[in-house]
């Protein structure tokens, strides 16, 4: 049995939490008081029953989210989240016009054309690097996904081929957006992020909880609705130059995720609050235009 398979699952709310199971193997069940506990339990059950210790779960209906967040989900746009990964060599400072920050290691300036270098064949069609701590989170697409994207979608980005891993035919293309919709802080919510004094960069995500609790809080990136164009281009980039994700019309994103030739992508809410709810006192990264 291969590892890292996709398992189509469903779930219900119970009196004391959640119950979730694999749709075509209903005896593979997970229970928990919180959604995260339920996911952990179901992941363990999949491993025990099938030997797939790295199973990835996809849910229909979509995973439950916090209603305080969902109320701000954009009605027409959603995020397309990478689930796959590509293992890369250490980030070359020449990949950015300003190199890497001495304080936080994150890129400074804009992306040059120096390619990223893969050291292992990637998994999935929409990928991040496989290290959580990698200072740059490029979005890399497979040739298969590249072939499915429209000219208008691709026109929102510059494309730099990733130097492939030795002895593999698998090719990835790094997308470099031309502009970004920045993350903002929400007034009254608890903000989480890092601020680097050396380069001035701030990353922020928020939770409506009064305190951040990693075990129970739902933490998300939020945009200001004022930053979303009234007639959005075919694809938007949400985040910053070194950590972003694609945003697409919901129908189009569903088409891509459900395409039998596409693996390793999922959809999540694109949360946008009205400008009067944006907390301007938190220092934020500004939208950046690249040449």
Q: Which residues bind Zn ion (CB under 5 A)?
A: 101, 103-104, 196, 198-199
Residue with tokens 């939490």: 17
- Looking at the Cβ atoms of 196 and 234, the one nearer to Zn ion is 196
Measured between alpha carbons, how far is 31 from 14 in angstroms, rounded to an integer? 9
User: For residues 74 and 106, which CB has a smaller minimum distance to Zn ion in the complex?
Assistant: 106
Smallest distance, Zn ion to C-beta of residue 193, A: 13
CB of 105 to Zn ion, least distance (A): 7
Q: Which is nearer to Zn ion, 11 or 180 (CB)?
A: 180
* Nearest to Zn ion of 47, 104 (CB atom): 104
Our CB check for Zn ion shows the closer of 73 and 104 to be: 104
Helix (H) or strand (E) holding 147: helix 143-148
- Alpha-carbon Rg for the chain, nearest whole angstrom, is 19
Beta-ladder partners of 9: 22, 59
Task: Phi first, then psi: give them for residue 155, nearest 5 degrees.
Answer: -65, -15
**Which has the closest alpha carbon to 256: 63, 79, 10, 22?**
79
Q: Min. distance of Cβ 274 from Zn ion in angstroms?
A: 31
The least distance separating Zn ion from the CB of residue 289, rounded to whole angstroms, comes to 20
Least distance between Zn ion and beta carbon 98 (Å): 10
E-assigned strand segments in 87-200: 126-129, 139-142, 157-161, 172-177, 190-195
């Amino acid at each position: 049995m291969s590892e890292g398979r996709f398992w189509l699952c469903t779930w219900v709310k119970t009196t004391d939490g959640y119950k979730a199971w694999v749709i075509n193997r209903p005896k593979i069940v997970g229970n928990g008081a919180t959604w995260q506990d339920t996911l952990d339990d179901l992941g363990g059950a999949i491993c025990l029953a099938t030997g797939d210790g790295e199973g990835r779960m996809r849910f229909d209906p979509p995973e439950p989210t916090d209603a305080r967040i969902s109320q701000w989900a954009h009605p027409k746009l959603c995020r397309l989240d990478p689930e796959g990964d590509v293992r890369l060599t250490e980030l070359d400072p020449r990949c950015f016009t300003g190199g890497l920050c001495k304080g936080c290691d994150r890129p400074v300036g804009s992306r040059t054309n120096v390619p990223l270098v893969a050291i292992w064949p990637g998994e999935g069609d929409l990928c991040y690097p496989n290290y959580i701590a990698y200072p740059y989170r490029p979005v890399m697409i497979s040739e298969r996904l590249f072939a499915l994207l429209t000219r208008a979608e691709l026109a929102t980005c510059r494309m730099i081929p990733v130097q492939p891993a030795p002895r593999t035919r698998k090719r990835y293309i790094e997308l470099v957006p031309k502009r970004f919709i920045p993350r903002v802080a929400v007034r009254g919510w608890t903000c989480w992020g890092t601020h680097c004094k050396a380069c001035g960069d701030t990353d922020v995500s928020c939770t409506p909880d009064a305190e951040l609790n990693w075990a129970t809080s739902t933490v998300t990136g939020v945009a200001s609705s004022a930053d979303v164009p009234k007639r959005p281009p075919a694809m938007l980039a949400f985040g910053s130059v070194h950590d972003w994700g694609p945003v697409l019309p919901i129908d189009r994103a569903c088409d891509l995720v459900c395409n039998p030739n596409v693996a390793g992508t999922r959809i999540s809410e694109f949360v946008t609050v009205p400008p009067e709810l944006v907390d301007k006192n938190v220092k934020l990264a500004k939208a950046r235009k690249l040449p």
